[in-house]
Amino acid sequence: MKISGVAWCLGDNVSTDEILPGRYIGLEEGPELGSHALEGISPAISSSMSRGDVLIGGHNFGTGSSRESAPKALRSAGFSAVVAESFARIFYRNCINIGLVALWCEGVTEAVNEGDSVVIDLLDSRLLVEATKVSLPLLPLSPFAHQIVDSGGLVPYAKSRLGRSLVSDSEHWGSA
């Protein structure tokens, strides 16, 4: 599988509060949530990017709180993948759990410039910068993480593995 898009570059230590400011946590996933993605850094990014673009981060991308709403905002905005020098552990796992491709790539911030067209080859675990023909190795997803992402997230993966619908919390526990 290959992912192609325009690169949007951010620096080191981008926090979940910058990815999605706290006042938007309660929004449902969709266009409104996506319109606030990266608002803590630059409100223009989500309105300027195109569906399928790739977010490039530095070290410790997604630091801060463990809320799933930050990667959901990136997916809702239309980003197809996040590639970073390194991730905050919980943010990385939240990306995988919601089906957003998140890949580690040493040297990505030096090789990719804002606006570059990039191609991510998930099978060969490579990132290609089309203008310069620079090809960087990606830390591949584990087979299990790959299955989760391919399924669209952990919940769809679990449903497909169980072969039946999962009982929602409200059905199981009753309403509050």
Q: What tokens were used for 1? A: 């599988």
| Contact status, residue 59 vs residue 116, Cβ threshold 8 Å | no
Q: Which domain holds residue 54?
A: 2-141
Each residue's pLDDT tens digit, 40-68: 888 778 778 889 999 999 999 999 988 88
Q: Consecutive sets of 10 residues in the chain, 176 residues long: mean pLDDT of each?
A: 94 94 89 91 83 96 90 95 97 96 97 96 95 96 94 92 60 48
Backbone angles phi, psi at 138, to 5 degrees: -105, 145
| Contact status, residue 61 vs residue 100, Cβ threshold 8 Å | no
Per DSSP, helices labelled H in 30-81 are 31-35, 44-48, 69-77
| Contact status, residue 118 vs residue 112, Cβ threshold 8 Å | yes
Instruction: Provide the pLDDT for residue 175.
Output: 47
Would you say residue 119 lies in a domain? yes
Would you say residue 174 lies in a domain? no
Would you say residue 87 lies in a domain? yes
Would you say residue 39 lies in a domain? yes
Would you say residue 175 lies in a domain? no
CATH of the domain at 115: 3.20.19.10
Q: How many domains does the chain have?
A: 1
Q: What tokens were used for 92? A: 């990385």
Go through the chain and tell me how many residues it has.
176
Instruction: Provide the pLDDT for residue 173.
Output: 47
Would you say residue 167 lies in a domain? no
Count other C-beta atoms under 10 Å from residue 1's C-beta. Answer: 10
Instruction: Provide the pLDDT for residue 165.
Output: 52
Strand order in 117-121's β-sheet?
Answer: 101-104, 81-84, 54-57, 2-9, 117-121, 126-129, 134-137
Would you say residue 51 lies in a domain? yes
Q: What is the pTM of this model?
A: 0.88
Q: What tokens were used for 158? A: 């679990």
